[in-house]
Amino acid sequence: MPASVEIINTGNELLDGRTFNTNGQWMARRCSSKGLTVKRITVVGDSLEDICAAIREALSRKPDLILITGGLGPTPDDMTAKAMARALGRKLELNEEALKMIKRAYGLEELGSSREKMAWLPEGARPLRNPVGMAPGIMVEQEGTVIIALPGVPREMEAMFKEHVEPLLDQLSAGLARFEAYFLAYGVREADIADLLEEVAHKHPGVYVKTHPKVEEGRTYLEVYVSTMASSSSEARQKMEKVIHELSEGISSRGGSFKPFRPE
């Protein structure tokens, strides 16, 4: 079974509609492309209790990896480290390695209390270098689940994800990768091919097929997404070719047309 991931994105701005949750989408796409299964994306506000509860709930489902964004800065509403410590039943402690990272980032020998706040991590946690910002990330393991917290600023999150998270994803994927293809089906509705999709899913349990109705210039059509997990492109091709052939034949027999396309 592919390794499982849960994502927790924090910030009031995500809940009141001021900011799109681009972090959640970006991270999910990176994880799924490596062959991992993203089980859930949770969005919570800047509340100690809510972040703590979200971490505890995610841990109860025992995913292989929990990714958290936001709440690592120096301001009072940055509470992710404290919430992690509380959820894990650990103390907050001044992490000397994190303190050195922050001093180097600011170019200072001494830090004020607000900046020093970013160096207080859950007991036993490891700080993660931030190559483009000030706040270190946090990595800790709890009962077989790795928890990684990254800043919410997308530029910082993406840089740290590539440096610290992607190597871990490669380990967790154990050589698996996701292979996918997109198609457009014209002349049929979802209800017209529901039996075909059920038959394909039953015959090929390792391949995922999803349809999305679309309307463009008054013309209705279906966007069809096909994906599978495999350890090699040849294995994936064998799985995908059978499914794509059956979909094409089935849609054609129902009076429709089926052609590949590349999404933007």
Which pLDDT tens digit goes with each residue over 184-230?
Answer: 999 999 999 999 999 999 999 889 999 999 998 888 999 999 999 88
Average pLDDT, the chain: 94
- Please enumerate in sequence order all residues whose Cβ is within 8 A of that of 139, keeping only pairs 6 or more positions apart, or say none: 125, 126, 127, 128, 146, 147, 148, 149, 164
Instruction: Say how far apart CA 78 and CA 71 lie, in whole Å.
Output: 4
So what's the pLDDT on residue 148?
98
Question: The whole model's pTM is what?
Answer: 0.85
What's the pLDDT at 183? 96
What pLDDT score was predicted for residue 79?
Answer: 96
Q: Output the 3-class SS for 84-103.
A: HHHHHCCCEEECHHHHHHHH
Q: Which residue matches tokens 């998270």?
A: 165
> In degrees to the nearest 10, what's the CA dihedral of 94, 95, 96, 98?
-120
Radius of gyration of the chain (CA): 22
What gap in Å lies between CA 255 and CA 187, rounded to an integer? Answer: 6
Domains of the chain from N-terminus onward: 4-173 (3.40.980.10), 177-260 (3.30.70.260)
pLDDT profile of the chain (264 residues), mean per 10? 93 95 97 92 97 98 98 95 98 96 88 91 98 96 97 97 96 84 95 95 92 90 92 85 95 95 83
Q: Which two tokens stand for residue 177?
A: 């990768």
Q: Residue 129, Cβ neighbours under 10 Å: how many? A: 15
